[in-house]
Structure 1
Amino acid sequence: MPRPMKWRKVCCLPESNRFGPLDLNAGDQYQVKMTVDEYETIRLIDLEGFTQEECAKKMNVARTTVQGIYIEARKKLAESLVNGKVLQIEGGEYRLCDGLGNGCGQGCYKRRRRMGCSGKEEGED
């Protein structure tokens, strides 16, 4: 019997889930599909500056799992950019965090939106 799936923790869905040439009505042959968990590795590692190990801790998976997800995500980004294909972000094996759980903090998009520059919850003195 296979191991049960371990869901990847994702802090937020992308504000836009479709990117690419604006003048293209893309069918499946002109699309690259990226999962939400692949998007999250790009966000955490490339945008937030986390290491793969830190990213793995945030997503509640092994570092080797993050490494594989990240490699696939980078390939899909490259295919979209180099070949002029639409990048569609959807699906995957993830659960959204509520911004309050363990491991949420720096890099958690939901928590950052609730916190002011001082690091205190909005409305706290």
Structure 2
Amino acid sequence: MPRPRKCRRIEGCPKACFFKPQGIPLTELAEVYMTMDGFESLRLADYQGLTMEEGAARMHVSRHTFGRILGDARRAVARALVDGLALHIAHDAQTPCMHQYPDRLAARSKELCMTKIAITSEGPKMTDRVDPRFGRAGGFVVVDVETMASTYVDNGSSQSMSHGAGIQAAENIINAGASVLLTGSVGPKAFSALKAGGVKIGHNMGGMTVAEAVEAFKSGKVEYTDSPNR
């Protein structure tokens, strides 16, 4: 029987989840992935200058495990630099526990409670129809389900992009503080960006108004997806 995995303490949070060569659209690049524990090991060892023992203690892992994680992370960075790949920092099942910096903890806790949801919309009102597209949706209505206060995020800049509209739209959702997205369909690049930002994706929401989508979420009738559906 395998040993249960110990939780790895992660105190850092990347300010960006994607890094790429300048002048090349992300849609035209292959990606190399770095896990969140890999990012944390780099932050502790190469940014803060901690020893292997100190880094291992901070992450609550053995020195051997810390060295292996750090080695994998450094190889991911090296591959991105040498081969000209996009570097994607992503959450995965290998990182079951995360503790943010104290000044970000309150905001992250609110996200995890799913108080803010974003709905792709054809307009800014709750009576507008859900836009079945994601990357090229007209905009997003962001709703605090505790207070039902709503704001509108215009997605016009993504609509005019020839490449990378889904990734730009995903950044808009994450920056708005939403932890759930309700939409019709999501492509693979946008899906990866949303998942990396901790956003849960409810799909097949076309054919209803924004208000009806919110009620479906509150009543537990939303169908969530674990993979791209476009």
TM-score normalised to the size of structure 2? 0.41
Code of the aligned partner of 2:55: C
Q: In 1, distance between residues paired with 2:78 and 2:17?
A: 17
Q: In 2, distance between residues paired with 1:30 and 1:75?
A: 16
What corresponds to 2:57 in structure 1? 57
Contact 2:29 2:86 in 1 (8 A): no
Residue 96 in structure 1 maps to residue 101 in structure 2: no
The Cα offsets for residues 54-106 of structure 1, whole Å up to 9 and x where unpaired, read as 000000000000000011111110000111100000023231225xxxxxxxx
What corresponds to 1:79 in structure 2? 79
Count of aligned positions: 102
Contact 2:20 2:26 in 1 (8 A): no
Structure 1 residue runs without a partner (length 5+): 99-109, 115-125
Q: In 2, distance between residues paired with 1:26 and 1:84?
A: 11
Structure 2 residue runs without a partner (length 5+): 105-230
Percent identity among equivalent residues? 35
What corresponds to 1:2 in structure 2? 2
Q: For residues 24-63 of structure 1, what are the structure 2 equivalents within 5 Å?
A: 24-26=24-26, 30-63=30-63
Q: In 2, distance between residues paired with 1:41 and 1:51?
A: 11
Task: Return the offset for 1:21.
Answer: 1.2
Tell me, what secondary structure is at the counterpart of 2:72? Answer: helix
Code of the aligned partner of 1:69: I
Q: In 1, distance between residues paired with 2:91 and 2:23?
A: 25
The Cα offsets for residues 25-61 of structure 1, whole Å up to 9 and x where unpaired, read as 3459711000000000000000000011100000000
Q: In 2, distance between residues paired with 1:19 and 1:52?
A: 26
Structure 1 runs of 4+ aligned residues shifted over 3 Å read 25-29
Q: For residues 9-24 of structure 1, what are the structure 2 equivalents within 5 Å?
A: 9-24=9-24
Q: In 2, distance between residues paired with 1:28 and 1:66?
A: 33
Q: In 2, distance between residues paired with 1:28 and 1:39?
A: 24
Tell me, what secondary structure is at the counterpart of 1:23? Answer: coil
Q: In 2, distance between residues paired with 1:6 and 1:20?
A: 32
Tell me, what secondary structure is at the counterpart of 2:9? Answer: strand
Q: In 2, distance between residues paired with 1:71 and 1:28?
A: 27
TM-score normalised to the size of structure 1? 0.73
Q: For residues 96-115 of structure 1, what are the structure 2 equivalents within 5 Å?
A: 96-97=98-99, 110-111=101-102
Task: Return the offset for 1:12.
Answer: 2.4
Contact 2:12 2:43 in 1 (8 A): no
Q: If you compute each CA radius of gyration, which structure gives the higher value, 1 or 2?
A: 2
